[in-house]
A = this chain, B = another copy of it.
Amino acid sequence: MVSTSTGCPSSSVPARRFELLTLGDELLLGLTANGHLTFIGSQLGRRGVMLNRNVTITDDADDIVKQFRESWACSDVVITTGGLGPTCDDRTREAIAAVLGQELVFDTGIEKTIVDRFARLGRKMTPNNLKQAYRFARGEVLPNANGTAPGLWVEQDGKVLCMLPGPPNELQPMFIEQVLPRLAERGYVRAREAYVQLRTAGIGESALETKLQPLFDRHGDALSVAFCAHQGQVDCRLSSPSLRLSDAQLQEIASECASLLGEDFVCFGHDSLPRVCADLLRAQEYTLAVAETATGGLLANAFTDICGASKFFAGGCVCYSNESKMQLLDVPEDILSQHGAVSAENAVAMATGAAERLSADYAIAITGFAGPTGGNEANPVGTIYVALYSPQGVWSKKLAYPGPRPTVKVRAVNAALDWLRRELVRHQVASTTEARVGSGLRS
């Protein structure tokens, strides 16, 4: 039997209770988003563990003592974030030591690291920084390559406590390089990814399930399947909680799924749509240009978030005014006066203009009404025209998205990226076939 849920596949790892304590008034006041939950939750999920609870509390020492006592009593692993800094707000270390009945000891090794770090950066160290040199008497130190406060690791009462610094650029590498391997060694999480993930686009969750079910049924209850839908994409996670299927067998089943899905299959693993498009462009040595109205730079930004984007990304235009469309992209005035800016004709002209102006092999144009104002009877708010220019030609598509402005923008960008991806895959397959025909290798 195949179990289906939006959650995490259950795993062969004995069920242990994981809890995340995120500390900080700025989280409770909504000044900062709780990115630690997103990061740690997804990292543990990949290793077959779902967090049981996340509790966010204030920096108040009494609150910390009260909450930590409860969390420690009911969990096997407690991870805390924040509160390890040098200021007087940072009382977490002391509060937790009290609950654990542990002494805090001054560690000259940590002291040296902090002093050296300040010297290297040419900054003056204030004495309160040495507060960060205290560690639990019975515990380990997790060195911090990107900041002054090290992480702390304690094993006590058959449980694990792991305290991490708040800044994401310090916490994230520490979690991946030091915490996950320690948890895996002790059998608390899988040593590798707990599942094989297929990423799909352009197909709904129920259609996906219907298409793959006969394949899943062949493996009975040895196979566990979970679906996760997000922003026009559905991920499918295959695992074998009983370990009756090996990793190689899971990968083989995933490959069969990919073949069945054809172009709806995006990739194995966790790559984003812009990353997948970028890899396809780089592999075929193609360049890309973009032209946007409604999405206003979001599409360009998705590509330029990728380090090394200049290898394939020629550039983009955000053309709000009609004049800018004519000036930057050579859109003929007639098209704008006859069809309007929100039209298939304009989308095609913008894509063509971007490709020609930037000498790019491919170009995407997006125009439309993102709302909440604008729109007309033929093209109400939420109407989006996407055009794709490629060495094979140029086409446009009309789409419609309900929802607020930010949702329309994200959905339009994802739809455009998925179309580009399909076109690049199709072209890659065609080129390979052609090459095989050309060299007489046709099977």
Contact = CB atoms under 8 A, between A and B. Distances in A.
A41 B30 contact: yes
A118 interface: no
A176 B8 CA distance: 34
Residue from A40, A309, A310, A315 with most neighbouring chain B CB atoms (10 Å): A315
A53 B57 contact: yes
B323 A314 contact: yes
Contacts of A228: 26, 29, 31
Query: How many copies of this chain?
Result: 2
Interface stretch (A42-50, A181-189, A214-222, A257-265): A42-50
Interface in A317-367: 317-321, 323-324, 327-328, 357-359
Nearest to A359: B323
A373 B310 CA distance: 11
Given A45-B29, A230-B32, A320 B304 contact: yes
A7 interface: yes
B53 A54 contact: no
A320 B328 contact: no
A332 to B, nearest CB: 17
A89 B299 CA distance: 35
A51 B327 CA distance: 52
Contact of A315 (B6, B54, B300, B317): B317
Interface string A82-116: 00000001000000000000000000000000000
27 contacts: A7-B25, A8-B25, A27-B41, A28-B51, A29-B228, A30-B38, A30-B41, A30-B43, A31-B41, A31-B228, A33-B33, A33-B37, A50-B58, A53-B58, A54-B56, A55-B55, A55-B56, A297-B298, A297-B301, A301-B301, A308-B373, A310-B321, A314-B323, A315-B317, A315-B320, A327-B357, A328-B358
